[in-house]
Structure formats: C-alpha cells, structure tokens
Chains A and B, each alone.
Chain A
Amino acid sequence: MDKPQVFIDITCGELHERVRDYCARGWHFANLCGCTVDGGVELIYSFSDGLPVENLRLVTDLSRPIASVSDCFPNAFFFENETHDLFGVPFSGISIDFDGTFYRVSVPTPMNPGAVNRAALEAAETSATAVAEAAVAETAEATAAAPTATAATVPAAEAPAATPAASSAPLEADA
C-alpha cells in the first residue's frame, strides 16, 4: 500500500495561519524536521489526521524568529527547542522555552555548523529571554534568575559553559 507523500512549499509568514487551520480541523502535529541547506535551514512541519499526512516545507535564513506553534499544539515545544539547539533556528513564544539548554550540546548548533547571522541569533535570544524574564521574576526560584542574565549577555560560543548552571531550572514563558 502506498504511503501518502504530500509536500507543500510555503513561506515563513504563511506558517502560523496554516498551522492554525490544521489545528482547527483537528489534525495532529506529527513532526518538525530541520535540514541545513545553502542559505539557511529548511524546516518541514508534518501534520497527520489518520491516514493522510501533509508536510509544509519552508526555508529560513535565521534572520527572523519563527512564530512558535506551541499555542495551537502543546507538544510542539519539544521539537522547537530541539531545532533551536541543533540548528540555531530562533523561535519566539515557545510554551516551555529551555533557551538553549534542552540538549547539552558541547558545540553550538552542531547540525548547522555554519550557523549564519550569529548576531541575529543573539538578538532573537535576547528578545525571547526578555519575555521569559518577566515570567521568571514572578516565581520564587532565585536560581532561575542567574541563568537568565548569563544567557542573554554571554555570546553563543560560551553558552555551553553556562548550560550546567542553567540546566537546573529551565525558563517557562507561561507556567
């Protein structure tokens, strides 16, 4: 029996709207896979509803953060954190944002060694942590505050050194 293989090319801007459409139709979010290509990272979002599977394909050059789909699909936080850690793709608004400490990689963005636009990456991280910082300041955990400051100010190359400290309390944008 043939397996359905449907791949649709979209742009970054169309992503969130299409995802919300899948969510409204009751589809499941199955997979988010990144792949390094010339000029950035190709992202494949896969959605399934029983037998049919549809895949959205988009290429990002890492310059702007991609809107997180974890508001429609709660399980997306896993994939987005992973894609961020392995490929350096910035996301904004992930429901549980580990801010680079999801996988304890010893080399930043190992699957995408030529992670272009490092400045854009840092800018995206700072904006993401600024949102998270407000939430973290409300919680009683003092230990969470230290990694927030260090992650924002330390450049990405030194992030692995800070991850052991940050690993004990991942930041939560909304609890």
Chain B
Amino acid sequence: MNLLSFLIALIGFAVAAPVLGCLIAGLDRRISARLQGRVGPPLLQPYYDLRKLLAKDDATVNRYQGFYVALALALTIFSGAVFFAGGNFLLVIFLLTLSVLFFIIAAYSTRSPYAEIGAAREIIQIMSYEPMLILMAAAFFVATGSFDVSAAFALGRPIIVVLPLIFLGLVFILTIKLRKSPFDLSSSHHAHQELVKGITTEMSGRTLALVELMHWYETVLFLGWVGLFFIWGSWWAAALAVLVVIVIYLLEILIDNTFARVKWQVVLVSSWAVTFVTVAVNLFILRIL
C-alpha cells in the first residue's frame, strides 16, 4: 500500500460504502420484517431516517459528544480505506478499535446512567471479539507470510481452504460486531431493551446520524473481511466473494430473528471459547500439514 492507493481507496470507500451500507441496511429491515410476518419499510428507509436526523435540532447534553462521534466516524473511514487499499491488517484492526473507544468515550461523556452502562457493555463486547480479530491477523500471517491484505491476491487459492475454522470464528463474532441478537448487548436497532438505547441513549440529531453512517461503513468493512477469505489471484474471485458475503449476511439476519438476547457473561465466555478452540485447532492443523 502506498500513499496513492491509500488516497484512492479513501475516496472510494468514503463515497461508495455509505451507499452500499444504506442499501444493505434497508434490505436487512425488509427481510427481517418479512420473517416476522410484517411488510416492512421501503428499501431506502435508512436514507430517509438519516436525512431526518440531520435536519433535527441540536439537543445534546454537551459539546464534546458530537466531536468524539465524528472522530470515531473518521477513524472507521480510515480503517476501511487501509483495508480496501490492501494495507496492513493489524493497522485496520487497531484503527477500528480506536474508533470504538472514541464511541465509548462519547457515551461516557454524557454521564447518563443508561449510556454509561451501555458503554460498559460495549467494552465487554470489545473484550469478546478483539482476541478473535487479532488471532485472525496472526493466522493470516501464518498462512500468507504477510500482514498485508493485498497478499491475498497473490495466493493461488482462497485462504478459506487453509483457515476454515478461523472463518467460522469470524462469522461467530460478526454477530457481535453487527449488533445482532443474541449478542446485541450495548445497543441494537430496537430500543426495546433494558438500557433504553444503550450506548446511543443520549445521542440524537446530527450525532445519531453520524452513528448511523458509522454503522453503514462498519457493515461494509466487516463484510469485506468475510469476503477476504474467498479472494485469490483469479478473476472470478470477486464474484465468489460477493456471493459468500450475501449468504453470510442473510444468515446473520436469520440468526437475529431466531434468538433472544443473552446476558453479557454468556457473550464473553462463548466468544472466548469459540476463539480459542477455532484458532488453536486451525493453527495446529496448519502447522503439521
């Protein structure tokens, strides 16, 4: 990754990802509604919501919250840009973690009890999925010899062939990252939980619009990670990756609609269990083969 490719990826990601994320979110709500026996909102409803949020009056608790959320959004965009420019995967993870940390600080800055507990749960969520991501990067290095995402294009076959269990681990923690049941602890798209809206309780108007945008960017980035496992040097790799991404996202919607929310202890324990089992077994097999 050099500066030019990074800038191109930055502009491309910054412009295209929200469009894609908006459509994905719209499809998500539509399909969920059909699964629940309802009709569902129009496909572009997330866009209408965003526009309405931007038009609202500013009613925030303090001036810093919007600043922190804007920083979090910027870091997410940078993280995505690094990823799609083929840069260092560890850098991608760290930028994303920093973004979430700013999001958490934004919630804490309001001193509202619900936002604070939501932020505390978000920290627990980070503790749940971060080991998997870092070990995934390590496994990536073991499989390709480099931390760079672009190394996947130089392979003769998709990484899924050598890291199948790691892929399963990623799909498991994807439910946490995408804020879907059973792991939607700190905030979900539905306010009907014990924390009102959890980490985003005190966010409204423009700040909440930025959070929505951040969610769209993140969705595209995470689906990019899923697709990474199906990329190699061939020309039809991209098509296969997109297909797999669609299947996995539909699976996530299905899981969201068939599980209740579990408590944070279950999230932490189950993610760590899945992480260590999949990583240990996969790397063990990789080493001896």
Q: Do A and B contact each other directly (Cβ–Cβ < 8 Å)?
A: no
